[in-house]
Structure 1
Amino acid sequence: MTEIVHALADISAPYEALFCDLWGCVHDGLRAFPQAVAALEAFRRNGGAVVLLTNAPRPRAEVERQIAGFGVPDSAWDVVVTSGDAARVALYSGAVGRRVFHIGEPRDLSFFQPPRTMRNPIEIERVPLEQAEGIVCTGPFDPHADPATLRPQLLYAREKGLKLLCANPDIVVDRGDSREWCAGAVARLYEEMGGEVLYFGKPHPPIYELARQRLAEIGREPALARTLAIGDGIETDVRGAFGEDIDALFITGGLAAAETGTPPGGDPDPKKLAAFLARHQLAPRFAMGFLR
């Protein structure tokens, strides 16, 4: 049964590392949540390591600059691991060919930088769909438009047998008070149409493997039982934690605030939370309205 808790400090003692989601937990796409930052800083002061584990489709250096602009200080984290980093390794290993059609916004073009630590990356060329060997999706062209507007391109790609590399498995995010579609929504549509999709962010294993690698690089190798995943995505953060056999703290005041009856600054309604978790057939060890 999921235990509703009030503060991270109430449950953090047994854990050596946190795999903490960013968007919806530490910031809202515009600004940092001060209580969340304080909770992560306190965990680090007590000897814990914080991995900011995000499905952002961009390289970690760019995400580090972005969150600094939001007001998330270096003192709140040890390493940043992005879905984009995990996916770029696959791209530059040839997972979807050399000539790729990019679905996404111009701001995500940094995805097409070869990983600095990768040896012998292949050359990648962005081309029109008609010339492509595969597709890279970092998000819709327009995050506010229904992903179904891409159906003609996806149908053409399916008929050509193109694989789609999904750099961000999230379906939606909330930027302030505005909800936006993510690459995961496009990938889901392509799968429903019969297309083949390659995923690299939460809840899929590659991003967790990269997180453990980055922890090892700073001399931290916590056991599974000493690692806690934190996130507001039931099908990404929580399901991913279950797949990795680690405990999860579900932040209910993010994407699922309405379904779990979580008021601003408060905690979830126990009955609504139970019903929500039952629908998803998941039972995280802990739940909290907002990270604090």
Structure 2
Amino acid sequence: MKPATLKELAARFDAFLVDQFGVLLTGSGAYDFAPAALSRLSSYGKPVILLSNSGKRSAPNEARLTRLGFARGSYLTVMSSGEAAYSALRHRIGADLAPGTAVWVHARDGDQSNVAGLGLVPVDSPADAGLIVLAGSLGDVLTLDDYRALLAPAARRAVPCLCTNPDMEMLTPQGIRFGAGRIARLYEELGGPVEWIGKPHPLIYAEAARLLPGIAPDRILCIGDSPAHDVAGGQAAGYATALVRTGLHAELDDTSRAALCENEGAVPDFVIPCFCFDPPEA
């Protein structure tokens, strides 16, 4: 868990998998330093993929980043858990998932990109669904008790659930709230079956690796704010990892942050102040 700077790491590695929320984005916008830093990192001529537990597909994520001031040319793509899940679902239609299956998609902003064009039939309630896709959380509006009541009928029928955003917590304008991963965990507690797609699970890393042919795993650096997701997932994929001091655990001091990483069994190779080339003075 060596202190480092983004400038040092940019010169040291050959490709970068960069988290969105907590690294580039706050709960309400972009970190002031992030758009310029991402452009500067891309100027090294090395591939940069934004690896995100967003349940939305790549295109909506890219559109949001553009609205927030990020140059589209500063990264290859957003490899989101939503995009990885869409690819997985597309290959299952007609195999272990019947065309026309009723699907309840739960996402922020009413996003339905997870199932668009797949021949599934969206429904308004999980009680009517043959498949549940948890792509986001309304934890800033609904309580876990609300979700318990909403999901219990489907759990009793063992309706399969695909969690396309495994984050247990999320950044919102109101502060940290529970994420889609916590809702999926609740569904498991109710007896429902859940399949997880996104960090730290392997599928999203396999999808990203396809875009980085010829680059050895030990030459790829994962940058994120979550030991449980970014660090653990990157390490399992064989990549080096760097933890930023911003994001979900920004309020922790270095001792507490180190203890958290130890407790999670996910100690990063490096710790950097933020996703910035000119860190603020301590």
SS at 1:37's partner residue?
helix
Aligned pair partner of 1:251 in 244, 248, 267: 244
Structure 1 unpaired stretches of 5+: 115-120, 262-268
Aligned ranges 1:208-219 → 2 under 5 Å: 208-216=205-213
Asked if residue 239 in structure 1 is aligned to residue 235 in structure 2, the reply is no
Aligned residue for 2:48? Answer: 50
Q: How many Å separate the matches in 2 of 1:21 and 1:146?
A: 27
- The CA deviation at 1:199 is 1.3
Alignment check: 8 A CA contact 2:217 2:239 kept: yes
Alignment check: 8 A CA contact 1:17 1:48 kept: yes
Aligned residue for 2:120? Answer: 124
Aligned residue for 1:265? Answer: none
Aligned residue for 2:272? Answer: 288
Alignment check: 8 A CA contact 1:44 1:50 kept: yes
What does the per-residue CA deviation read over 1:166-189, in whole Å, with 9 as the maximum and x for residues that have no partner? 111112221345323321111111
Check 1:82–1:272 CA distance in 2 against 1; reply closer, same or farther (3 A cut).
Answer: same
Check 1:15–1:200 CA distance in 2 against 1; reply closer, same or farther (3 A cut).
Answer: same
What does the per-residue CA deviation read over 1:225-262, in whole Å, with 9 as the maximum and x for residues that have no partner? 1100000122111111111011110112210122x22x
Aligned ranges 1:39-188 → 2 under 5 Å: 39-92=37-90, 93-94=92-93, 98-114=101-117, 121=118, 123-127=119-123, 128-141=125-138, 143-176=140-173, 178-188=175-185
SS at 1:184's partner residue?
helix
Q: How many Å separate the matches in 1 of 2:138 and 2:171?
A: 17
Check 1:215–1:154 CA distance in 2 against 1; reply closer, same or farther (3 A cut).
Answer: same
The one-letter amino acid of 2:76's match is D
Q: How much identity, in percent, do the aligned residues show?
A: 29
Q: How many Å separate the matches in 1 of 2:42 and 2:13?
A: 11
Q: How many Å separate the matches in 1 of 2:108 and 2:29?
A: 21
Aligned pair partner of 2:29 in 28, 31, 44: 31
Aligned residue for 1:207? Answer: 204
Q: How many Å separate the matches in 2 of 1:106 and 1:273?
A: 33
SS at 1:152's partner residue?
helix
Check 1:96–1:134 CA distance in 2 against 1; reply closer, same or farther (3 A cut).
Answer: farther
- The CA deviation at 1:14 is 2.7
Structure 2 unpaired stretches of 5+: 277-282
Asked if residue 3 in structure 1 is aligned to residue 2 in structure 2, the reply is yes
Q: How many Å separate the matches in 1 of 2:31 and 2:43?
A: 19
- The CA deviation at 1:75 is 3.8
Aligned residue for 1:278? Answer: 262
RMSD: 2.1
Q: How many Å separate the matches in 1 of 2:8 and 2:42?
A: 15
Alignment check: 8 A CA contact 2:23 2:225 kept: yes
Moved more, 232-241 or 146-155: 146-155
Alignment check: 8 A CA contact 1:22 1:52 kept: yes
- The CA deviation at 1:33 is 2.4
Aligned pairs, number:
270
Moved more, 229-238 or 151-160: 151-160
The one-letter amino acid of 1:3's match is K
What is the TM-score normalised by the length of structure 1?
0.85
The one-letter amino acid of 2:34's match is A
- The CA deviation at 1:132 is 2.0
Alignment check: 8 A CA contact 1:83 1:201 kept: yes
Check 1:112–1:278 CA distance in 2 against 1; reply closer, same or farther (3 A cut).
Answer: same
- The CA deviation at 1:41 is 2.5
SS at 1:186's partner residue?
helix
What is the TM-score normalised by the length of structure 2?
0.87
Aligned residue for 1:118? Answer: none
The one-letter amino acid of 2:247's match is G
Check 1:113–1:288 CA distance in 2 against 1; reply closer, same or farther (3 A cut).
Answer: same
